[in-house]
Amino acid sequence: MDAAAKSKLIKGSTGDWEIVIGMEVHAQVTSQAKLFSGASTAFGGEPNAHVSLIDAAMPGMLPVINEECVAQAVRTGLGLKAQINLRSVFDRKNYFYPDLPQGYQISQYKSPVVGEGEVVVDLPEETIRVGIERLHLEQDAGKSLHDRHPTMSFVDLNRSGVALMEIVSKPDLRSPEDAKAYVMKLRSILRYLGTCDGDMEKGNLRADVNVSVRKPGAPLGTRCEIKNVNSIRFIGQAIEHEARRQIEIIEDGGAIEQETRLFDPVRGETRSMRSKEEAHDYRYFPDPDLLPLELAPEFVEALRTSLPELPDEKKHRFVADYALSGYDADVLVAERESAEFFEAVVCGGASRRDAKTAANWVINELFGRLNKEGREIGASPVGAEQLGIILDLLAEGTISGKIAKDVFEIVWNEGGDPRAIVEARGLKQVTDTGEIERAVDAIIAANPDKAEQAKTKPAVVGWFVGQVIKSSGGKANPQAVNTLLRQKLGV
């Protein structure tokens, strides 16, 4: 066991335990219409405003597959480097629930549209490869509302029939951090592909988490499934709590019972939902209303050639072409928009700008500022072109680094062309040695004791540099100030 794996073990009273985690991520397919009906998938809207006769399971209604949803599933499969099954089958999963109008969910049980694939997850200490078992298409259910009437429940079918992709991983995850990083990476890939918006707050991406524990090297333990966890943070908390709960039971001489559990975010714990005995018998069988889904190889190939560049490839390119560090590249490619912004800064000028400087500015200044205000990059008040001009001014020596930050701030608050701002507000760096010399002389004259110190302690020169620049209102060229000071102070 390597160091990274070792660090993930949890200590129990009888020794170390390893957590084994597999995930079933439910991702809502980005599409105009539902999986088997023409009704809208728009979020919100009055209850039951987006319901067709099919979604309400009226007598005699038949499902018709929405080809765009199929294309989205195939794109996702290709993005996960997975096998695309040219023949797949829709099955009925039968159970009664008021928000399930047909009395069955149309899903893919035995023959999913996408087979085995892989997601590469970069963690600070290591890179893990998470196997994808399968991806299948299925219908979402409606929503039961229990708080609108004293004795009745209301049913909203707006979501009923919306297409979901269930993406099932192999049990390749070993810690809450692994699991969180996996979901974030998966989310990033889906967003790049445009097949799911990944909005966890709206429930458009949610996970069922399978957790078991074992002594390192031992066979797999009995797992519990935690249903419907809807934030990355909760996924981490749920696994943490569930693993400790299981270890405690086993160390107390008990055994884990296979069951379905729910995560309570308020109390930060999981609790039993139903045991194996109470598990439904879903009576799966092929849906006779739908023919098997047959895909033409050309259809898949056309989708393959139209795939966008995905985070992994983009990262490799950023490292290779722009000489960025792996870390910087990771940060930039996590969101397609960030990566595009960065590239627009680097490549948007007359000549290619310095990539490392651009990366620093995007990651530190821009992201820092965006995070502070809770904004998305798409809503950044400073555009890539504006930031690019600031970097040009900096590179030309027209402004100093400090002034550059000021200009960034002005553009953030007021907008405008950075070059015009620098011109209009007199922020140009002073390189006129006469003017700098006057300032240097004045500062040395005002601080004779420090000037004396500088002869033995060169660090004091730095203090003088700061003072001179400050007196120039930040406009004095630090290089010129430094050279002059060293001459005058005789160091």
Partner 1 sequence: MTELTDLTIAQARDLLRNRKISAAELAEAHVAAVEGARALNAFVEETPQSARAMAKAADARLANGTAGPLEGIPLGVKDLFCTRDVRTTAASRILENFVPTYESTVTSNLWRDGAVMLGKLNNDEFAMGSSNETSFFGPVVSPWRRKGSNQDIVPGGSSGGSAAAVAARLCLGATGTDTGGSIRQPAAYSGIVGIKPTYGRCSRWGIVAFASSLDQAGPFARTVTDAAILLRSMAGHDPKDTTSVDRAVPDYEAAVGRSIKGMKVGIPKEYRVDGMGADVEALWQRGADWLKESGAEIVAVSLPHTRYALPAYYIVAPAEASSNLARYDGVRYGLREPGRDVIDMYEHTRAAGFGKEVRRRIMIGTYVLSAGYYDAYYLRAQKVRTLIKRDFEQCFAQGVAAILTPTTPSAAFAVGEKSSADPVEMYLNDVFTVTVNMAGLPGLSVPGGLDASGLPLGLQLIGQPFEEETLFALASVIERAAGAFTPEPWWSASGQA
Note the residues at the interface with partner 1 (CB under 8 A). Answer: 53, 56-65, 92, 94, 96, 98, 101-104, 153, 155, 281, 283-285, 288-291
Dump strand ranges (E) for 265-359.
269-275, 285-286, 293-294
d(CA 99, CA 452): 84
* Rounded least distance, CB 89 to partner 1, Å: 13
Would strands 87-88 and 15-28 be described as parallel, antiparallel, or unpaired?
unpaired
CA pseudo-torsion sign 216, 218, 222, 225: positive
Nearer to partner 1, 90 or 361 (CB): 90
Nearer to partner 1, 17 or 104 (CB): 104
* Rounded least distance, CB 321 to partner 1, Å: 48
Name beta bridge partners: 40.
33
Instruction: With CA atoms as reference, report the closest residue to 25 among 264, 220, 142, 185.
Output: 185
**DSSP H or E stretch at residue 105:** strand 104-107
* Rounded least distance, CB 258 to partner 1, Å: 15
Nearer to partner 1, 281 or 449 (CB): 281
> In whole angstroms, how far apart are CA 327 and each of 187, 320, 331, 372?
19, 13, 6, 21
Nearer to partner 1, 95 or 327 (CB): 95
Nearer to partner 1, 284 or 367 (CB): 284
* Rounded least distance, CB 62 to partner 1, Å: 5
- The three-state secondary structure class of 210 is strand
Nearer to partner 1, 33 or 56 (CB): 56
CA pseudo-torsion sign 335, 336, 339, 342: negative
* Rounded least distance, CB 337 to partner 1, Å: 38
Answer for the pair 165, 196: CB distance below 8 angstroms, yes or no: yes
Task: Quote the radius of gyration of the chain (alpha carbons, Å).
Answer: 30
Neighbours of 53 (CB within 10 A): 13
Nearer to partner 1, 284 or 412 (CB): 284
Nearer to partner 1, 285 or 327 (CB): 285
* Rounded least distance, CB 64 to partner 1, Å: 6
Nearer to partner 1, 42 or 279 (CB): 279
Answer for the pair 162, 41: CB distance below 8 angstroms, yes or no: yes
* Rounded least distance, CB 76 to partner 1, Å: 23
- The residues, ordered by sequence, that sit 6+ positions from 12 with a Cβ below 8 Å of its Cβ are 247, 248, 251
* Rounded least distance, CB 134 to partner 1, Å: 20
d(CA 57, CA 39): 13
- The three-state secondary structure class of 99 is coil
**Tokens 């694939």 label which residue?**
117
Instruction: With CA atoms as reference, report the closest residue to 247 among 16, 5, 481.
Output: 16
Nearer to partner 1, 58 or 220 (CB): 58
* Rounded least distance, CB 280 to partner 1, Å: 10
* Rounded least distance, CB 33 to partner 1, Å: 14
In degrees, rounded to 5, the angle at the alpha carbon of residue 234 between the alpha carbons of residues 232 and 240 is 110
